[in-house]
Structure 1
Amino acid sequence: MGAIRLQAVEKWFGDAQVIKGVDLDIADGEFVIFVGPSGCGKSTLLRLVSGLEEISRGSLYIDDRDVTAEPPSGRGLAMVFQSYALYPHMTVGENMGFGLKTAGAPKTEIESKVAEASRVLKLDALLDRRPKDLSGGQRQRVAIGRSIVREPTAFLFDEPLSNLDAALRVEMRFEIAKLHQSLGATMIYVTHDQVEAMTLADKIVVLQAGRIEQVGSPRTLYERPDNLFVAQFIGSPKMNVVPGGVTDSRFALQGQGSGPAPASAGGANRVGIRPEHIALTNPGEGHCNGKVEVAEYLGADVMLFVDCDPLGVMTVRHVGDTAVKPGEQVGLRFDEQRVHFFDGEGLAVGRA
């Protein structure tokens, strides 16, 4: 079992409060990812769960057992860091089994668990090599394998892929996803990369300034953000947000045209639309007009940056190729079923 519950958790460093009353339930076997901008408290929150930092106020429960005052060794958790922290003089097999060896486990048990972990992580052929002979991705798999052999209650990952190049990050995302499916273990994962969060998580926890902004599945956060911060943090490129509102059950963009929208979005003074939910059309035929400033060809799609003064620059993702060039005037038509509305406090007040 690996259910984890945080109850009114706070963390203070002197007079500075960095975690501000966090309540969170993580189900057994769930893959939960903490995301947020630098300094939001995501790594600190992970360290509070691990026991590497003391909780100032509040409680932490693992399988309904209060472990708030327990040291890291008493929580049954395994942590994988950015740094692989492998012993250079030991082989892969020795590195993976070292924790069990220091705990006094029998040699046969160590060999059996190392063999099973190496099979899962496809490290069988590398067991006799030393870390200097491995690639970055292989070293990270060894670090994960070292955690697997301990059979922990849950795995904690602190930005484990940040030291890898782009190609290896994609490969390791795939490996970690397969590992979760294979083990069915609870995993908490910290990253600043929302692509990792969207592709790996069962549940995403979005943090800002030590508080939880929203908790939900990747689809929920993408399609139903609770506020402007989540709306613009989740999704790449980020959501376009422009001045606008609702008048007589119709949404209107400041100084531009209008289109149908639900009356339930009343009170909105900003309109949000994701780049992939905007279509190109002729000037005057869409919800707003603008001049193409930059066109970025990305192969499968083209990213257009359109100056829609007075609204500002709008980002448009056009699937496939397009003949539109910088300097051209275009119209932009919003997908009217995917428009978001936000009030003066930045809270979501409806969606088409």
Structure 2
Amino acid sequence: MSSITLKSVEKWYGTAQVIKGVDLEINEGEFVIFVGPSGCGKSTLLRMIAGLEETSRGQIMIGDRDATAEPPNKRGLAMVFQSYALYPHMSVRDNVGFPLKSAGLSKSEVAAKVDEAARVLKLDAYLDRRPKDLSGGQRQRVAIGRSIVRDPTAFLFDEPLSNLDAALRVEMRYEIAKLHQQLKSTMIYVTHDQVEAMTLADRIVVLEFGKIAQVGTPRELYENPANLFVAQFIGSPRMNVVPATTITGRDLPTGAISIGMRPEHIDLVSPGTGQLDGVVDLLEYLGADTFVILNCGDAGQITVRVNGNTAYKVGDQVGLSIPEDNLHGFDQDGLRIT
């Protein structure tokens, strides 16, 4: 287990710069997740840490060792991909133990490590099965088990749950969270799914066009986004953003051009009694919650999270009351005004 430090890391493909001077320190035993839209560089950055992509400029430190020029097999890292990459003709036992067998460990050493990984991942009952006899979640656990037996410095996960259905994703999120608690290993995880990021990470790294937009705990990013990009990327439904000129009856941050508000921080009241008025355009019923989507004229479309048993109907005219403490101001460059 070790810390991982990136110092002014860049990645160029010819004249195209994909990673633009990233500085980041990942602490020993920390669970860090890279998120961002497609093409932001999150998988490229992970592959650079793994040594699967060459670092054009900058430095990658693993512990106190400069690993920038080291090949992947010298870095002591284990990578888990979204494709399970299991050998179909081998049993689970042989798939998990394959890296150890290739490294020349004795049969007894391999067996002991495989049994321990199977215990941690609850694979004991499946050791003699072939991959075709397993569910998607079980196959992913086998792929993780193959990494565990190597006792790596850190685990790197590249969208490991993207091939699973919704129910299995929830199950595997739990499994990975418990695994981190048990192993206390450094983990770096790439996902486009912010629910995975919010529920699993100690800290989240939000990437935008090859740069870090913000680093922080899930709560820090949600409650104190550094800019409009982070504000609207973190949170589902995303933060509502309206022109500051459309908000009345509230003291707004000096210099604010845009005002952001989370859907759950808006109360629906009688028309004319709030800071905005709108008309109900659509209701999205989700059981415990309903998302009320409103047409608010010059302020645009606004989403409000209310109780699932709401009596509002499409076409109803409503007022929107927004507590001052829950307003986020952004300047003309999209930076948050504190």
- Same fold, TM exceeding 0.5? yes
Identity fraction in percent: 69
How much has 1:288 moved relative to structure 2? 0.4
Cα deviation 1:129-160 (Å, max 9, x = unaligned):
00000000000000000000000000000000
- Paired position in structure 2 for 1:215: 215
- Paired position in structure 2 for 1:117: 117
Residues 31-70 of structure 1 aligned to structure 2 (within 5 Å) = 31-70=31-70
How much has 1:106 moved relative to structure 2? 1.1
Structure 2: runs of 5 or more not aligned: none
2:248 pairs with one of 242, 253, 257: 257
- Give, in whole Å, the separation in 1 of the partners of 2:248 and 2:61: 54
Q: Which amino acid aligns with 1:35?
A: V
- Give, in whole Å, the separation in 2 of the partners of 1:148 and 1:28: 17
How much has 1:6 moved relative to structure 2? 0.3
Residues 176-325 of structure 1 aligned to structure 2 (within 5 Å) = 176-244=176-244, 253-254=245-246, 256-261=247-252, 265-325=253-313
Matched-pair contact (CA < 8 Å) for 2:43–2:158:
yes
Moved over 4 A (4+): none
How much has 1:260 moved relative to structure 2? 3.6
- Give, in whole Å, the separation in 2 of the partners of 1:173 and 1:319: 27
Question: What TM-score results when the alignment is normalised by the length of structure 2?
Answer: 0.99
Q: Which amino acid aligns with 1:272?
A: G
- Give, in whole Å, the separation in 2 of the partners of 1:64 and 1:223: 34
Question: What TM-score results when the alignment is normalised by the length of structure 1?
Answer: 0.95
Q: Which amino acid aligns with 1:102?
A: S
How much has 1:236 moved relative to structure 2? 0.4
Q: Which amino acid aligns with 1:345?
A: D
Matched, 1:175 2:158: no
Residues 6-85 of structure 1 aligned to structure 2 (within 5 Å) = 6-85=6-85
Q: Which amino acid aligns with 1:128?
A: D
Alpha-carbon RMSD across the aligned residues, in angstroms, is: 0.8
- Give, in whole Å, the separation in 2 of the partners of 1:133 and 1:315: 44
How much has 1:319 moved relative to structure 2? 2.5
- Give, in whole Å, the separation in 2 of the partners of 1:204 and 1:335: 28
- Give, in whole Å, the separation in 1 of the partners of 2:200 and 2:103: 32
- Give, in whole Å, the separation in 1 of the partners of 2:323 and 2:169: 33
Matched-pair contact (CA < 8 Å) for 2:286–2:308:
no
Q: Secondary structure at the match of 2:293?
A: strand
How much has 1:320 moved relative to structure 2? 3.5
Matched-pair contact (CA < 8 Å) for 2:285–2:308:
no
How much has 1:257 moved relative to structure 2? 2.4
- Paired position in structure 2 for 1:150: 150
Q: Which amino acid aligns with 2:60?
A: L
How much has 1:123 moved relative to structure 2? 0.2
Q: Which amino acid aligns with 1:338?
A: N
- Give, in whole Å, the separation in 2 of the partners of 1:111 and 1:286: 67
- Paired position in structure 2 for 1:93: 93
- Give, in whole Å, the separation in 2 of the partners of 1:123 and 1:169: 18
Q: Secondary structure at the match of 2:326?
A: coil
Q: Could you tell which deviates more after superposition, 136-145 or 319-328?
A: 319-328
